Structure formats: structure tokens, C-alpha cells
Amino acid sequence: MNTTMQNTKAQNIDEYIARFPKKTQEYLTKIRLTIKRLVPEAEERISYQIPAFNLNGKYLIYFAGFHKHVSMYPAPRGSENFQEELSHYKGGKGTVQFPLDRPLPVDLIKRIIKFKIDENLKMTKNKK
């Protein structure tokens, strides 16, 4: 996923973040800490070779580092509450890229995480 990463797979999120340049590490760490503050009970892991958090036995959010940006998956691009804000960032249908040359939008990230928590809780509730 990142050409600067070593060929060996990261065993945990600390190892993953440590493989990046300082600016990328800073953004990845901010995203990680934001998730941990909002969802302290979420389980950290490496999934698909990138950092992920699971909640209630289901994935909650993934994030990844690159040369010029960091990404979060899945991004709620289809939600009316996020369409305008997310239109300012590159990304695919379920991805948002935050460029390293712009401030990290922590408030937007918090809202995305809260949205994903609500989705997770609804999915969990519906399965019971």
C-alpha cells in the first residue's frame, strides 16, 4: 500500500505508524488517538495490512498512510450530512484522503467516527 514501507507486515499499529516519515506519523497518530478517545472500548488491529478498529465484533474504521496523504475507510460519502465537506477531499466511493500539506480536519474526523459508531450499533442491534 505504501512504497516506503518495508516488505514485512506490521504486527501492530505502532509498527505500522513507525514506518512513515514524521509528518505522516503525526497525522496517523492524531487519527488513532481521536478514535481511541471516542471509542476506548474499540479493539485495535491490523487488517488488510493497515490499522483498523473493531467494535462489537465488527469493523468500525480503517486508516492508512501514504506519501502525500492519509486515508480513512469507509467514509460516509453517500450521507447528506457529509457530502459538502467530503467534496473538498479526494477519495473513492468509501474513502477520504486528507493531504499532508493541509491541516488535519480533526472535527470532521470525529464526526465520521461518531457516524460509524452509530452505524455499528444499529447493525449490532439489528442482528440481535
Going along the chain from its start, the domains and CATH numbers come out as: 13-120 (3.90.1150.200)
Mean pLDDT (the chain) is 90
Structure confidence by residue, pLDDT tens digits, 17-73: 999 999 999 999 999 999 999 999 999 999 999 999 999 999 999 999 999 999 999
7 confidence band (pLDDT: 50, 70, 90):
low
Predicted confidence (pLDDT) at residue 119 exceeds the cutoff of 50 = yes
Predicted confidence (pLDDT) at residue 6 exceeds the cutoff of 60 = no
Strand order in the sheet with 58-65: 43-47, 50-55, 58-65, 69-73, 96-99
pLDDT recorded at residue 18? 96
Residue 84: helix, strand or coil by DSSP? helix
Strands (E), 1-128: 43-47, 50-55, 58-65, 69-73, 96-99
